Structure 1
């Protein structure tokens, strides 16, 4: 008995240039007891019905046959007997009708049932997220004021929600935009069949399926495009095709379609997408996404009308559980090998448990894919395959993957949105995703629960190199539970969008604004007014702006306490007077009213030079602004808590019969400091860069009342900054002259200072990167900042300044040459690095390479001197006042019983037990959870002690130094180097706050070696303990740093003034820049 599988009954209405229109009637069936009636034409019969089979698509179909099928090749009886006839589609069927799109929509009237899934009673229907989204969409459609954003995590039924909306709302003509070809294929098939709606009884059987157009290519002829649209209820296409259309075509889309659904709408703020979407009336547009935020920081425009959280999706079992299987390996080549081994181990375990899973090894580019594939190709029984765009035989490889012929896939940004392969359950992340939206979408691919015969998802990643985005740090921890963390990350990011949207929603007419308020990022600047009024008349703003009629474009909006005014005028270009060439200049004014108990202040931010802010304030607040403007010396209070301030611009006025203004810029700034201090000049304006709360900031102000920074922020960030500035300026306890007390003295020098250097350190900009960014290669050996360092060469003030680059086995000496050359009659200072050792070294960084001397010339190191001064290139920097000596209470004594004061290091196990380090570790080990021996080139400190307390993390850095001649003395040379080390280690406080580099350093150096013998650097505690502290730090637990000098050569009772002053300079530096107190351990 012969059988034949028939395709779904659907009619191909249109087929030109790859664009098609279909209408579906019902599912295909399998014919039983098939018999041959005729060979020519080839006719078969089953259950009393005759079927004509032909390979000629253009066959003149006789009225004799009602059932005609198109096959891949002209069939023969042997094909029927062998079961090899392949049917492509129906050419004729009795159910085929010629219906207009309007007739189809009319058939949907009262044919939709709101049936919700009830697993307990075996009722199939819409899932809770689908039902909730549908109700929200229908509610929004009753009063649409903005684009509707629907947030549904991957796997919760986003497409079925679109189908339900189409039928229940009787959308007259729907345009569906998707980001990829594969998604177009997947979603168009859903719209053609209506997915599961009819099977579940949600839509009645006699309801006609929509006529669906699939646009695989653009249609340039407007008449043909109009005809194509007129034939359909739904068009599914890619955004690329839409955005590449002509302006006339885009206008036609926006006019002819009643609704626009944008799938994967997190892309919608891309410029080309946004331009297309903005052509549609807002009430027509619905944005569907799993992640309503973008990795580029742009906000999605629209209103979130439904948000089904990832947490709820997990609770309702739409996501499989996740097995997180991290490794930690700092050698990237070894990391690829270990990731591959762990992924294959997991795959074999899954297969043994009856789960036919597949590994996807993700790489960032094809070069990396080829490298990674080398680690998988040995597993021949798992048939690994590599795929990336333009690789040979790509289509065949994709088809083989779909057929399940490959259990390992090494790919580059492929198999993404729209590629349906449920067996992908093991993700080997060789190159990490770099943003939360992309990460969540990627993870969602592996965690869907649609197929019960599959097991849980597994993710293997290298936590030594997690993504750079702070929000993902928590995922990349050894004991992270992704099942708990992912929902919270998703909710937090979504809530940020909602909070910012709520802030914007306070404005009344955003829908009429051509300027997206979420994109406004003004410079942080303001003028402050003390307000004695509680009137708020934002609509009166026009009365407060002179020459308003010169602005061709005027727009304003306001919330309860913020007024935004945007003005545009046409003006001549600076380089000529033309009728056809003009500037369109846009300006902004922001008025923020800070009204709190005991606070009533007004802040004005504007880009308009010369704006009469007083007039504007009087119009809006009905107050005498000229009498309430905050100006004069008190504005300089904004510099409170700004330490080590380097001034770049100072304006001052001389005192006398006439007030003469003088502006000091660059090196001339130092000329202004002394007369300001002496009172022969008064401050007019100041701008500089300094440190506040451990962060580098820029800040400026003038007696006119203006306060500014080089930073920018959105409207919410601007108002927060204004509040902070206003609080400082109003604080009567702050001395306005604080700006002068905290400034540095900077001068250009052409010869070395007559002071001993105590320390040299890498260029400060290098600390913004990880230690591994800078790779130094010498004679085939590779070093980075974790195992190398810069040191001062033993110095005499009569000799040139020299420093060395040191590793455990290499030393290269450099000399700093300072001088001046005559340029056009002016002596111009110069700075030069000279290599004095005949060893070549090359530095690799950021894709470039250069000799080490060239690198140090570009990334100039910083030299610290015994008096607290610094040298950076030709810039010699000193504080204006000498630091006090170290407080004697900060010197702790010990008797150092049994210690040989010559022996500084304990070396490696078996340890040197009469060393200072061994003795001191045993002295402090009970005070800490982790005690780490970091002694060696590139160290943070000789000993690192860490304690994780309930309220904060304590980090203690101990710098040790052996005694010259092994005895207690008053020799200051015992302190120069160790004071420099203490100051240098403050950098680690900043690196600790900015990221995980501090922990990476300790993990990477976890083994200490000497003469081929290796031991652990963990004296107390384990790697797992350090992982736990890392996690606590990522949770933003407060961290307190402490820095120590351990030098038994000092007798506290007999310490010389010079030693105490040197220690005082170090104490002052650490406290001023880092709020860290120096403690010294000495002898009695």
Structure 2
């Protein structure tokens, strides 16, 4: 072989006796008799293994009918490189361009393809008669078109990267395409859609193969092209190409402790493997060079120096990295800390323990990474994977493996001593299934729209095989559990398309049927995508069943607090042309009245409300269906069905009472009598943490994010048709008139600079924002509470008399703590005579159970003080809302309660997103700490992140509310004040189950 070098590019080629370059066609002709294809039936036999042999024949079959781009999916370690070479040899392709994703892989492929890898070693290519390919490696852009032509015109194989080739100009790409007969993409998932489509366009008349270990690109979209071969992971494991991976998920919510826990587990596994005689090595993966250095210095080299850890990263010199690599290959080092070794094409089979401290930037790289660890070797044991599942990003990466290929369920053997209750319950349910079929449907990933149709059934058994008389058993996958009385059926079917009568064009569809027999309540539940077939299934499996329907269905609304009916369908029972009417919005009041008076029969209802644990939605129909706007696991659905059964069977529930107590909106032309005590921006805007949404003074002024803005009210109405709203933006007060007219409503700015609302690139006047996204105000009158949005008024069910019980009041000696009743905030100077200072230092710091005490006072606050407890099962937030007294002495002033009660109720919106609470606290701590010092009175920023990780992992949480108003004399609380406090306490309990304490004098 001779060689030409032009810049960084090389061309190695065969020469004849006269020293002339042998033409690529002559080279490929030498392969005709030298290539001897073999198929390996056993480990002792040389030849292509199953995945290689199958892929090669799939390529041949495809090329007999089409030159369309074809995808070959082969798991890492099943030999796709040799499959590429066997394709070139067996099909005698004169010139092939192989495109790879990285420099290291380009070098490896170039060196390997010159001798067709291991094919000569397994006697599939006779070295004595075959010419090795004329081979070019392109590392840079040639200076001229002629230079490129000199390199490639006599090549059998050209190797380069897509990052380089995408920079070639139009003429260079045209020349490549004209010279090459085939284009092969290795690791196709690395190539972006636009980069690949632009380059591939030049080869549209040529044969194109795309090899990958996963059908998904780095952007999570599927690789374009026809999938002609996909070798399953489970089969690769069954055939012995992969060993099981022992997956050790640890749970440590403190990020710093999490890194140490990963390292400890990895070293523990390594030492056990060494005792078994395996030369295993730990690979500790970090996301950046800085992070790798930190892990090496603070953990691996500090605590495990006896294992001679090495750090291999870019930027520390090739000589040092090469020396460390030799230490690994010679087993002198048992730990390597790195960033993307596998991404750079480095492959050491002894790397069998993966300690993933940080996730990969994309799932396909994770698949490739983990797949390499699983490769079979007689001299090595099983691979091990360790991640911290309290780190939500890592958990999501591994979870997505299961979502994209269910075979990972077989390959990853989860070894965990810690599971949260929900996981245990779900796993117990799944373990109860007796799988009759080998199914491609992974029921662990089943996510169901929450709905059910119900049937009465008094029988003692079900006809388990009855479904086969309804569905095609050859095209139906099923799971069932006799102990749980659950059956899952997934039917595959084809249907004709509406836009063609051609018989060979059809759409592939799937039907899902989930059946639960609630034996305790004698009810069958079915969740289906085809109701007609669902009815037949119930009849075939439960012959004596009858549809459950009628007025009892509306019992399912029982227990929903502050029930707000969104839509109500009624059948007219009186003679007339109109047999059915649908009521929505303000018309619901008329519909409810008709239903209660018996003029019409309820047909269907959809409503929203609160369960005491948050917001709920529920719909129900006379014909036996109940549904909600949720998508959940099969375990959740089964439990939900059990609750629905119990309500439907409860004869003590009167549906008329439920309807009478529901909330109804009505159009009004004036505000109700009473005091305005709170206002809110729409759609949880005040809990928005984005820096791209907010208000600005003038179109080009600095944006003030929503979290630094607050909507307040003047508590006295200007008149019965006008309310004054105050928008606070960085402590500046801009006034608006909220006017109700006979026609609709208006909100107009009356004081302050012109304000605009900004959302990304969208900028509109504040009046337009309020028109599109109307705020809500609350008014409290004698025994009544009203909410108003636009000109729609809803009367809430509030207390008209009674007293808040004594256990809700906590009396304080403010004088003893030297508190000025008229001074609320401690400020950045932490004034000791303020109400807030006293709460933090004389109330909260006495309780050692508080992990975090946070001074959140200021514009955009969640509360004046946020205190957090962690009892390992639940995160408990305590919000403290402080309000100064309107007088020097405690008394019975109603005015001292309105605003603080409004703030308390308003802050409960955070109960719908606990992670948003942590994001807000972390953001506010970082922002103020830069200039004025910390907001954290107890705990640390790391503690905030730890709590956030626990919440992300699904730990339960709740909020308790505390009103701090030393201006209230506990012995002089008036009836009106009690009603306000009772209304607040009722709201907290009915919506999110929050408790209320009042700190007073």
Q: TM-score range by the shorter chain?
A: 0.5 to 0.7
Alpha-carbon distance change, 796 to 592 in structure 1, aligned in 2, over 3 angstroms: closer
Q: CA RMSD in A?
A: 6.2
Cα deviation per residue 1:109-155 (whole Å; 9 max; x = unaligned)? 7998799xxxxxxxxxxxxxxxxx9899999999xxxx99766xxxx
Alpha-carbon distance change, 518 to 979 in structure 1, aligned in 2, over 3 angstroms: closer
In the alignment, the residues of structure 2 paired with residue 1038 and residue 810 of structure 1 have an alpha-carbon distance, to the nearest angstrom, of 38
Alpha-carbon distance change, 691 to 882 in structure 1, aligned in 2, over 3 angstroms: same
Cα deviation per residue 1:1039-1062 (whole Å; 9 max; x = unaligned)? 221111111222222211111111
In the alignment, the residues of structure 2 paired with residue 631 and residue 174 of structure 1 have an alpha-carbon distance, to the nearest angstrom, of 71
Name the residue aligned to 2:35. Answer: 104
Q: Are 2:488 and 1:562 equivalent residues in the alignment? A: yes
8 Å CA contact retained: 1:816, 1:833 = yes
Name the residue aligned to 1:892. Answer: 810
Match of 1:762 among 677, 681, 686: 681
8 Å CA contact retained: 1:214, 1:235 = no
Name the residue aligned to 2:723. Answer: 801
Alpha-carbon distance change, 596 to 1067 in structure 1, aligned in 2, over 3 angstroms: closer
Cα deviation per residue 1:692-746 (whole Å; 9 max; x = unaligned)? 4655444211121022344567989877765665565456776656753663221
Q: Are 2:882 and 1:956 equivalent residues in the alignment? A: no
Name the residue aligned to 2:590. Answer: 671
- Superposition pairs of residues 649-728 of structure 1, within 5 angstroms: 649-653=567-571, 662-677=581-596, 681-692=600-611, 694-711=613-630, 725-726=644-645
In the alignment, the residues of structure 1 paired with residue 828 and residue 159 of structure 2 have an alpha-carbon distance, to the nearest angstrom, of 72
In the alignment, the residues of structure 2 paired with residue 273 and residue 870 of structure 1 have an alpha-carbon distance, to the nearest angstrom, of 52
Task: Give SS of 1:929's match.
Answer: strand
Match of 1:321 among 258, 272, 284: 284
Q: Are 2:1001 and 1:1038 equivalent residues in the alignment? A: no
Q: Are 2:401 and 1:494 equivalent residues in the alignment? A: yes
Name the residue aligned to 2:792. Answer: 875
Name the residue aligned to 1:855. Answer: 769
Name the residue aligned to 2:216. Answer: 266
In the alignment, the residues of structure 1 paired with residue 898 and residue 888 of structure 2 have an alpha-carbon distance, to the nearest angstrom, of 17
Unaligned stretches of 5+ residues in structure 2: 58-70, 134-155, 167-176, 249-264, 271-279, 302-308, 318-339, 348-357, 375-386, 411-429, 481-486
The Cα shift of 1:1081 comes to 1.5
In the alignment, the residues of structure 1 paired with residue 639 and residue 222 of structure 2 have an alpha-carbon distance, to the nearest angstrom, of 33
Cα deviation per residue 1:452-498 (whole Å; 9 max; x = unaligned)? xxxxxxxxxxxxxxxxxxx999559xxxxxxxx85x65544435553
In the alignment, the residues of structure 2 paired with residue 599 and residue 148 of structure 1 have an alpha-carbon distance, to the nearest angstrom, of 52
Name the residue aligned to 1:818. Answer: 740
8 Å CA contact retained: 2:266, 2:282 = yes
Task: Give SS of 2:777's match.
Answer: strand
Name the residue aligned to 1:936. Answer: 858
Q: Are 2:838 and 1:919 equivalent residues in the alignment? A: yes
Alpha-carbon distance change, 910 to 667 in structure 1, aligned in 2, over 3 angstroms: closer
Task: Give SS of 1:895's match.
Answer: coil
In the alignment, the residues of structure 2 paired with residue 253 and residue 890 of structure 1 have an alpha-carbon distance, to the nearest angstrom, of 78
Name the residue aligned to 2:970. Answer: 1052
Cα deviation per residue 1:83-102 (whole Å; 9 max; x = unaligned)? xxxxxxx8799x97844467
The Cα shift of 1:624 comes to 2.4
In the alignment, the residues of structure 2 paired with residue 891 and residue 556 of structure 1 have an alpha-carbon distance, to the nearest angstrom, of 63
The Cα shift of 1:758 comes to 0.6
Name the residue aligned to 2:561. Answer: 643
The Cα shift of 1:977 comes to 0.6
Aligned length in residues: 815
In the alignment, the residues of structure 2 paired with residue 170 and residue 286 of structure 1 have an alpha-carbon distance, to the nearest angstrom, of 24
Alpha-carbon distance change, 652 to 358 in structure 1, aligned in 2, over 3 angstroms: same
8 Å CA contact retained: 1:651, 1:684 = yes
In the alignment, the residues of structure 1 paired with residue 745 and residue 235 of structure 2 have an alpha-carbon distance, to the nearest angstrom, of 56
In the alignment, the residues of structure 2 paired with residue 583 and residue 289 of structure 1 have an alpha-carbon distance, to the nearest angstrom, of 31
In the alignment, the residues of structure 1 paired with residue 126 and residue 585 of structure 2 have an alpha-carbon distance, to the nearest angstrom, of 82
In the alignment, the residues of structure 1 paired with residue 629 and residue 44 of structure 2 have an alpha-carbon distance, to the nearest angstrom, of 58
Q: Are 2:925 and 1:1003 equivalent residues in the alignment? A: yes
Cα deviation per residue 1:827-854 (whole Å; 9 max; x = unaligned)? xx32222011131233322331223333
In the alignment, the residues of structure 2 paired with residue 568 and residue 712 of structure 1 have an alpha-carbon distance, to the nearest angstrom, of 26
Q: Are 2:897 and 1:988 equivalent residues in the alignment? A: no
Alpha-carbon distance change, 795 to 976 in structure 1, aligned in 2, over 3 angstroms: same
Alpha-carbon distance change, 1023 to 852 in structure 1, aligned in 2, over 3 angstroms: same
Match of 1:837 among 751, 765, 775: 751
Match of 1:786 among 702, 707, 726: 707
Cα deviation per residue 1:206-254 (whole Å; 9 max; x = unaligned)? 6779988669999xxxxx99x968xx9x99696889999999x999989
**TM-score, structure 1 length as denominator?**
0.61
8 Å CA contact retained: 2:681, 2:774 = yes
Cα deviation per residue 1:789-836 (whole Å; 9 max; x = unaligned)? 22112423626211112144421111112213xxxxxxxx32222011
- Superposition pairs of residues 441-456 of structure 1, within 5 angstroms: none
The Cα shift of 1:1017 comes to 2.5
The Cα shift of 1:893 comes to 2.1
In the alignment, the residues of structure 1 paired with residue 528 and residue 390 of structure 2 have an alpha-carbon distance, to the nearest angstrom, of 40
8 Å CA contact retained: 2:233, 2:408 = no
8 Å CA contact retained: 1:755, 1:797 = no
The Cα shift of 1:961 comes to 1.4
The Cα shift of 1:879 comes to 2.2
Q: Which has the higher contact order (CA 8 A, sep 6+)?
A: 2
Cα deviation per residue 1:172-204 (whole Å; 9 max; x = unaligned)? 7799999966599568547625787589x8889
8 Å CA contact retained: 1:566, 1:587 = yes
Alpha-carbon distance change, 507 to 843 in structure 1, aligned in 2, over 3 angstroms: farther
The Cα shift of 1:276 comes to 0.4
Alpha-carbon distance change, 354 to 572 in structure 1, aligned in 2, over 3 angstroms: closer
In the alignment, the residues of structure 2 paired with residue 1001 and residue 897 of structure 1 have an alpha-carbon distance, to the nearest angstrom, of 35
In the alignment, the residues of structure 2 paired with residue 947 and residue 326 of structure 1 have an alpha-carbon distance, to the nearest angstrom, of 36
Q: Are 2:538 and 1:617 equivalent residues in the alignment? A: yes
In the alignment, the residues of structure 1 paired with residue 99 and residue 797 of structure 2 have an alpha-carbon distance, to the nearest angstrom, of 61
Cα deviation per residue 1:603-649 (whole Å; 9 max; x = unaligned)? 4445567x38544422x215123xx3222233224334433332122
Alpha-carbon distance change, 604 to 244 in structure 1, aligned in 2, over 3 angstroms: farther
8 Å CA contact retained: 1:149, 1:304 = no
